[in-house]
Structure 1
Amino acid sequence: MWKKLLFWRKDLPPPRSQAFWGNLPIATDRDYVADAGDPLLCSIVAAAVYWIARNLAQVKWRVLDRNGVEIDSPIPALLARPNFYHDGSMLLHATVASLITHGNSYWILDGGARRRPTALWWYPPESVQAETGEVEEDGVRVRKLIARYVLSTSEGKRTVPPEEVVHLRYGLSSDLRYGASPLESLWRAIAGDHEAQTFATAILRNLGVIGLVIAPKQSAYLAPEQQALMEREFAERFTR
């Protein structure tokens, strides 16, 4: 008896747990980032992200010199009203949400970096790609980690020099051009939450779980008229 417990006999099939789990890989190459999709569709993530964004969007901007003394600058006014369509709270709200969920947030400058910017535009990080390449500086070709930014727009691709982009990063990812989302360790949990909610919704929509079974005590034949009468009485009594 003890021998059977300690050393499973080779002529017998493996125990159920071993038969079920034995062929499953310990690790997986499944792309949980793609499965998670938009993390803001997860109610728990959205509640936390929007709470942070809502509170940080109330920040009042000040410009300080190296000694911590406030100085007069046009920057706070620009951040308070970045463009004709958005106010400062909307800019900060989108910026913070992007930093948490994507690890990157982008502001595109109107007016260029060589003269005073006239507007700031938040741009969705999914539509921005930082490209490495060579640029010319004083007649010399120099290779830059970020030589340009490529924006995906409704009218096609648009190339913007780094001087006209404010690239905010949350830490650094393995690709040094980008930041890393603090939610990366939760992608699998978020994907699982999406799957569970989708499954539960499908069950409820399709009535996958039987709500009621009516079974007579003895086998008997019910005429169609009797069946219709029973269904009607049941519907009148138990449904609204």
Structure 2
Amino acid sequence: MKPSLLSRLLGRRVAVPEAKASRTGPLLALQGQGRARWTPRDLAALAHEGFMKNAVVYRAVTMIAEAAASVPLLAYEGEAEAPDHPLLALLARPNRHQGGAELMETLYANLLVAGNAYAELVRLGAAPAELHALRPDRMRIVPGPEGWPEAYEYTAAGRTLRFEGTGAGDIAPILHLKRYHPLDDYYGFAPMEAAAVALDIHNAAGAWNKALLDNSARPSGALVYRGEGGANLSQDQFERLKRELEANYTGAISAGRPLLLEGGLDWTSMALTPRDMDFMEAKNGAAREIAFAFGVPPMLIGIPGDSTYSNYAEANRAFWRQTVLPLVGRTAAALANWLAPAYGGAIRLGYDADAVEALADEREALWRRVAAADFLSRDEKRQAVGYGAEGEGEWDG
């Protein structure tokens, strides 16, 4: 029996039974050493500066989360749809305080703002009874000896609750949804982080414009000392003036504040006007970058200057096809993979794209093409548009 990779790294021979497992897992475990790993960024700052203070981020996250939560989920056993499956009932009413759409909206929003989302399973005996969404900023992951998370620790109100991992064939109490992160083995990457520079520009431009308005939009300039006989300011006078300027007239909050000039000082305006500096275009450019990071066509948020799509309907279809439905599909697959053992393991989840009104034109075009395909049987036509076979015979529609 060969010694494990971990034992060779540590210089000890440890007899372990051979089993199917990732050969790189022990490397991750060695890196983590079983210690809890906090999410490596300030989620509170992301939420504060982005979702809570930036209208573009707020609207993008809200649009995606609400749209994704509105898509009906479908359950399948094999190829057959199971409309009365108990998993659908659990997702429709996950707990006493939330409906299914509200829970899913919370999970989607957490995934977009933090890059991570966590769901807790409450069981009554062996059967799943409730699902709850947990705050990502309160969760930390404890790596196990094989490199995979062996536990999750949730901290709130000064207390920490540990959710242990489960053995093979059982259901883990925590589902961790995450977006792809190229440099982290345990946590996901939030779209807001990719747009961090644009977010700062957008917020700073707004703060600067607000300060200019508060101070009557007066532009900046230079102080010129016109003393008698061409004399200059003394060193003490220069240092005092410099201190007063830095203390009272620097920063966005002091933008445009008028100066109180003493004898011999003259004000010479030298700054560009807000129109020349084109703050609005800078804000709109930053807003477009934020929208792109989240996968929302800028046209849908009302950002001018974007000509990627010829009309609103085309942009809306792209939003659903490229952003919303892939998110719903990945989440549905993760939920089914997590909860399937409780229902015999033969359940999968999909979504009903036919219920999306924004895709109605696509469906009608597909139905016309399929109806015109005379070489297809009725059953083949039904299967081509996503419905099960009904029987032999030609479709006269």
Q: TM-score, length-normalised on structure 2?
A: 0.39
Q: Distance in 1 between matches of 2:101 and 2:91?
A: 9
Partner of 1:149: 152
Structure 1 contact 105–125 (Cα < 8 Å) conserved: yes
Q: 2:114: which partner in 1?
A: 102
1:124-173 deviations in Å (ceiling 9; x for gaps):
11111111134xxxxxxxx3420100111124111112410011122244
One-letter identity of the residue aligned with 1:116: A
Which stretches in structure 2 are left out of the alignment for 5+ residues?
1-40, 166-171, 219-255, 259-397
Residues in 1 aligned to 2:61 and 2:133: alpha-carbon distance in whole angstroms: 17
1:179 aligns with 2:191: no
Equivalent in 127, 141, 153 of residue 130 of structure 1: 141
As a proportion of its length, which structure holds more helix?
2
Following TM superposition, by how much is the alpha carbon of 1:91 offset from its aligned partner in structure 2, in angstroms? Answer: 0.7
Asked whether the equivalents of residues 69 and 101 of structure 2 are also in contact (C-alpha less than 8 Å), the reply is yes
Aligned positions, number: 172
Partner of 2:99: 87
CA distance in 2, matches of 1:120, 1:67: 26
Secondary structure of 1:195's aligned partner: helix
1:49 aligns to 2:61 (yes or no): yes
CA drift of 1:66 comes to: 3.6
In structure 2, C-alpha distance between the alignment counterparts of 1:74 and 1:60, rounded to whole Å: 15
Which residue matches 2:82?
70
Q: Is the 8 A contact 2:94 2:132 kept in 1?
A: yes
SS in 1 for 2:137: helix
1:156-235 alignment, distance < 5 Å: 156-162=159-165, 163-205=172-214, 207=215, 209-210=217-218
Hey, what's the Cα distance between the residues in 2 that align with 1:190 and 1:33? 15
Output the CA distance in 1 between the equivalents of 2:197 and 2:43: 8
Looking at structure 1, the residues matched to 42 and 110 of structure 2 have their Cα atoms a distance apart, in angstroms, of 19
How far does residue 61 in structure 1 lie from its aligned partner after superposition?
2.3
In 2, Cα distance between equivalents of 1:32 and 1:183: 12
Contact 1:36/1:194 (CA < 8 Å) preserved in 2?
Answer: no
The equivalent residue for 2:6 is none
Look up the match of 1:118.
129
Quick check: 2:46–2:192 contact (8 Å CA) kept in 1?
Answer: no
SS at match of 1:55: helix
Please point out which of 56, 60, 64 is paired with 2:72: 60
Find the residue that maps to 2:185 and give its secondary structure.
Answer: coil
Residue 121 of structure 1, CA deviation: 0.8
The DSSP-based 3-state class of the residue aligned with 1:97 is helix
Distance 2:127 2:42 in 1: 43
Deviation at 1:101, TM superposition (A): 1.7
User: Which consecutive aligned stretches of 4+ in structure 1 deviate over 6 angstroms post-superposition?
Assistant: 31-35
Rate the CA distance shift 1:97–1:104 in 2: closer, same or farther, 3 A.
same
Distance 1:204 1:50 in 2: 30
1:201-235 deviation per Cα after TM superposition (whole angstroms, max 9, x unaligned): 34444x27449x9xxxxxxxxxxxxxxxxxxxxxx
Cα distance in 1 for partners of 2:147, 2:126 equals 23
Where 2:148 maps in the other structure, the secondary structure is: strand
Amino acid at match of 1:164: P
- The change in CA–CA distance for 1:118 and 1:195 in structure 2 (over 3 A counts) is same
Identical-residue share of aligned pairs (%): 24
